Every structure is written in C-alpha cells, then in structure tokens.
Chains A and B, each alone.
Chain A
Amino acid sequence: AQSVAQPEDQVNVAEGNPLTVKCTYSVSGNPYLFWYVQYPNRGLQFLLKYITGDNLVKGSYGFEAEFNKSQTSFHLKKPSALVSDSALYFCAVGSTGRRALTFGSGTRLQVQP
C-alpha cells in the first residue's frame, strides 16, 4: 500500500519570503514522488518529480523539492514567494509495478502581498 500525508491544510507566507509545503509518504520499495499545482477551476499541472538521483529536484516556476529518504519526506520549496503562487498544491507518490499515483489531500498556499 502507498500513502501520502500533507499535514497542513493551508500555508500563509508573505511575498518575497521563502515557502515550504510539506509532504511525507509511505510506500513499499523505492518511491516515485511528484508535485502538482491547481489554480482555481483548472486541472492539475505537473511541477516536478523525483525518481532517482540528486535529492534536490528543480521544477517549473522556480519551485524545487528535497527528497529525504530517512524522514520519508518530499517537501516543496521556493526561495522567494510570489502572489501568483497562491494555489492548491498536491503531493503524489507512485511505486514500481503500480501505474496509479496516490495523492495527498492538498495544501492551499496563500501568498500575501
């Protein structure tokens, strides 16, 4: 079985400050980890993924995520938040032999001007 936890329903940050959106996972074997963003009334957009290799993954719109195997975490980060980053963010996990991803419950990011 695989599962994802996003412990924060909402994260508030001031524009220009660094942001972190947390994600922890549970999976048998090696994880495939993803971050998606959803803007209002839109589908999900792929941001970045970790399959193997470097623990720091860079993605779209200046976002990056850090894979930490010992803590089973894959937190999303950005050095300087923009108001336009305000959206709903989903973490997802997959594993070898299972094509479907398991998504977290989502974290709403609110960036204040």
Chain B
Amino acid sequence: DVKVTQSSRYLVKRTGEKVFLECVQDMDHENMFWYRQDPGLGLRLIYFSYDVKMKEKGDIPEGYSVSREKKERFSLILESASTNQTSMYLCASSLGQIVYEQYFGPGTRLTVT
C-alpha cells in the first residue's frame, strides 16, 4: 500500500512566522502535490512537483513556496504566515506521466493566530 505521511496533524503558528509542512511518500512516485481544503471550496492546488527540484504553480500559489530536494519528500513553506492561511493542508502523490489516481496523506490542520 502507498503510504503518504505528513509531519504534523495539528499546528498552531503566529502571524508572520515561517512555517514548514513536510510530506513523505514511500512508493517512488514521480508526482507530489500540495492542496488546501476549505469548507465549500473543495481542494485547491497550491503547487505540484513532477521531479526532484522541479515544480509548477497550481491555482493558488501566492504566499507559498515549495521544495523538493529528494524524490520522496515535498515541503510546503509559508514564508510569512497570515490568518487567511488557516486551513487544512493535504499532500498527495501519484505515479508517472499519465494521469493516475493520487494518494493522500492524513492532512495538517494549520491555525494561524
């Protein structure tokens, strides 16, 4: 079974802090994704990566950056956290160049105060 893990289930940070969310997958998947989930808005893609050191912006990249130094690890960085970044953050991975199903981690609920 594919396993996608996220570094924290719950996180509370202060406005202006730099926040790191980490995601690790154990199935040698090429693609990794970061989404945020908000009630009534579904999942919105922040960034994704299709290879080490490669990234593409999703639908809502403003205020976020990402890092993929190793194939199994994909980090989401909030450079200066703001209250409107309070949300559930979900990481996912998928195999290959064709559109495959994505496998999700358990999520990190981030609260910015």
Contact = CB atoms under 8 A, between A and B. Distances in A.
Contact of B94 (A99, A105, A106): A99
Interface stretch (B11-19, B41-49, B66-74, B75-83): B41-49
B42 A100 contact: no
A102 B59 CA distance: 10
Chain B contact patch, size range: 20 to 34
Contacts, number: 57
Contacts of A42: 106-107
- Classify chain A's interface size: 20 to 34
B49 to A, nearest CB: 10
Given A43-B90, A105-B40, A100 B33 contact: yes
The prevalent SS among residues of A at the interface is strand
B99 A105 contact: no
Interface of B: 4, 31, 33, 35, 40-45, 48, 50, 56, 58, 90, 92, 94, 97-99, 101-107
Interface of A: 6, 9, 32, 34, 36, 41-46, 49, 51, 90, 94-96, 98-106
